Structure 1
């Protein structure tokens, strides 16, 4: 009896660990496919990065992100390949997320009828963009902030190009009225980008991909508006910053679907944009100003989030 127990207990522990790693099931073909890509991921990664760490992050995301395990395999592996090439960690440090969404035209059956299904979309986080900007070696600092109605705030465009923001830290700051991002360059100089709250709402209405069939926005632009506003300012400011190849590739791949798993193909060449409504915006919030965002919200078949 003692011998039998000693043999079965390690097996039970191994099975339990495997079940946890695979998102609660004993076998997970998607998890296995991720593991099989280790050599390809390693080829794609920057020097010093380890594919084993990427795979651990991916399996954690698979376990923690609702419906990610239901996504088709190529879209998940494609998102991870882009993470590998950019040296970003999915679901960790606010770098990037694999966001599941429902595609009403996922694939066709034998009669040519379109069948719905889940795909994975790569969303680069606020911290991921900052990380890539710093890799250029030409950015000393990059940060985004929120302006409230009781703050002291002054912007002077033109020859001066100055921005002054003094938060009212000892009283009610009031409602948010603007958002901005500032980049300071190595060797001197800076650039900034400002958007009013009203302009940001209009931007959201034009660009948010998480919408119901009636056009109502839901998901992160509703639940984490400030974080999305910060990311938007950084994206807009990036047009005026010295770009690294990695930052340019990230901006091209952000909120897209990768269609090529070749390690030597750049993300900007391998990424397509969804042509249907998806829940495609999720962002990590600035850890110094707002709390960490929750797990991504998936777009469901009926056009609502859950």
Structure 2
């Protein structure tokens, strides 16, 4: 069943000033200049807890965040508010950063920050599994899948009054090169719909929207996991034709966003800025490990 996120946001706004855990309060009482990024995250435990769906724990989100920082040390160079903002969005959507393919918090170079001198900020990337999980939570989805069609598979795609998608993958031998990607959703009421994107069109989409590029060369998951990114793109496009879910719509809108506003309603107004995801292995601003994607 879809949660009434709007009502929950109003409740958070009205009660945020009265909440706080003992541990979080103790950390928050330290001078701001003395607080590490981990300290700032811990100090937000009460706010994260209020934002999260019932049955989930802020302590788990904080542990996930600490792991993400250890795995991506450059996050410590990011504007702390943007890291907290990405985590707040994860809290509100009930997603785990860096876990289960739900979402990633990644260093992002904002070329227009500090009077165009540039600065690191954190960007939230919603994963394919995160979108799938949110789709199922709506209660209106019976099944959801994304697959790749290879040139030696048997397939048929028809659009029009009687749309048809048939895909019989080759089970032995060489399946050949990928020719298309698709996502299919079956609704709880018995209906279904699908979307198919050719490999050539997917390459064009990547080149147009992947912010993880340097000198025209694509980095990150579009290079390292093209198929997974193609499946995610299909699902994002298919979501336009699926039953409306507040959480799903917010996830799609916040994918690739940089958030510095921690007020609960800020999730409804995501900010997408001009910049590039940064590669931990490359100190040059334009490199990337996990792409800002559309």
Q: TM-score range by the shorter chain?
A: 0.7 to 0.9
* Between 94-103 and 27-36, the greater mean CA deviation after superposition: 27-36
**Residue 52 of structure 2 is aligned with which of 45, 64, 89?**
45
Question: CA separation of 1:305/1:235 partners in 2, compared to 1, >3 Å: closer, same or farther?
Answer: closer
Instruction: Output the TM-score relative to the length of structure 1.
Output: 0.79
- Measured in 2, the distance between the counterparts of 1:115 and 1:299 equals 19
**Corresponding position: 1:147 with 2:149:** yes
- Measured in 2, the distance between the counterparts of 1:268 and 1:153 equals 40
Instruction: Output the TM-score relative to the length of structure 2.
Output: 0.82
Secondary structure of the residue aligned to 1:100 is strand
Deviations 1:94-136, CA, capped at 9 Å, x for gaps:
100001122233324xxxxx43331110000000001111111
Pairwise mapping of residues 18-33 of structure 1 onto structure 2 (< 5 A)? 29-33=36-40
Question: CA separation of 1:47/1:116 partners in 2, compared to 1, >3 Å: closer, same or farther?
Answer: same
Question: CA separation of 1:160/1:166 partners in 2, compared to 1, >3 Å: closer, same or farther?
Answer: same
**Residue 173 of structure 2 is aligned with which of 171, 174, 179?**
171
**Residue 67 of structure 1 is aligned with which of 74, 93, 98?**
74
Pairwise mapping of residues 173-252 of structure 1 onto structure 2 (< 5 A)? 173-212=175-214, 214-252=215-253
Counterpart in 2 of 1:135?
137
**Residue 279 of structure 1 is aligned with which of 270, 277, 284?**
277
- Measured in 2, the distance between the counterparts of 1:186 and 1:158 equals 23
- Give how far 1:301 is off: 2.9
Which residues of structure 1 form unaligned runs of 5+?
A: 1-26, 109-113, 281-295
Secondary structure of the residue aligned to 1:188 is coil
- Give how far 1:70 is off: 1.6
Deviations 1:73-111, CA, capped at 9 Å, x for gaps:
011000000000000000111100001122233324xxx
- Give how far 1:302 is off: 4.7
Question: CA separation of 1:196/1:39 partners in 2, compared to 1, >3 Å: closer, same or farther?
Answer: same
- Measured in 1, the distance between the counterparts of 2:271 and 2:281 equals 19
- Measured in 2, the distance between the counterparts of 1:90 and 1:123 equals 9
Which residues of structure 2 form unaligned runs of 5+?
A: 1-33, 290-294
Secondary structure of the residue aligned to 2:182 is strand
Secondary structure of the residue aligned to 2:265 is coil
- Measured in 2, the distance between the counterparts of 1:47 and 1:219 equals 34
Number of residue equivalences? 256
Counterpart in 2 of 1:19?
none
Counterpart in 1 of 2:159?
157
Secondary structure of the residue aligned to 1:163 is strand
- Give how far 1:229 is off: 0.3
- Give how far 1:300 is off: 4.4
Secondary structure of the residue aligned to 1:97 is strand
Larger of the two Rg values belongs to structure: 1
* Between 217-226 and 191-200, the greater mean CA deviation after superposition: 217-226
Counterpart in 1 of 2:8?
none
Secondary structure of the residue aligned to 2:113 is strand
**Residue 115 of structure 1 is aligned with which of 106, 117, 121?**
117
- Measured in 2, the distance between the counterparts of 1:252 and 1:55 equals 23
Question: CA separation of 1:244/1:173 partners in 2, compared to 1, >3 Å: closer, same or farther?
Answer: same
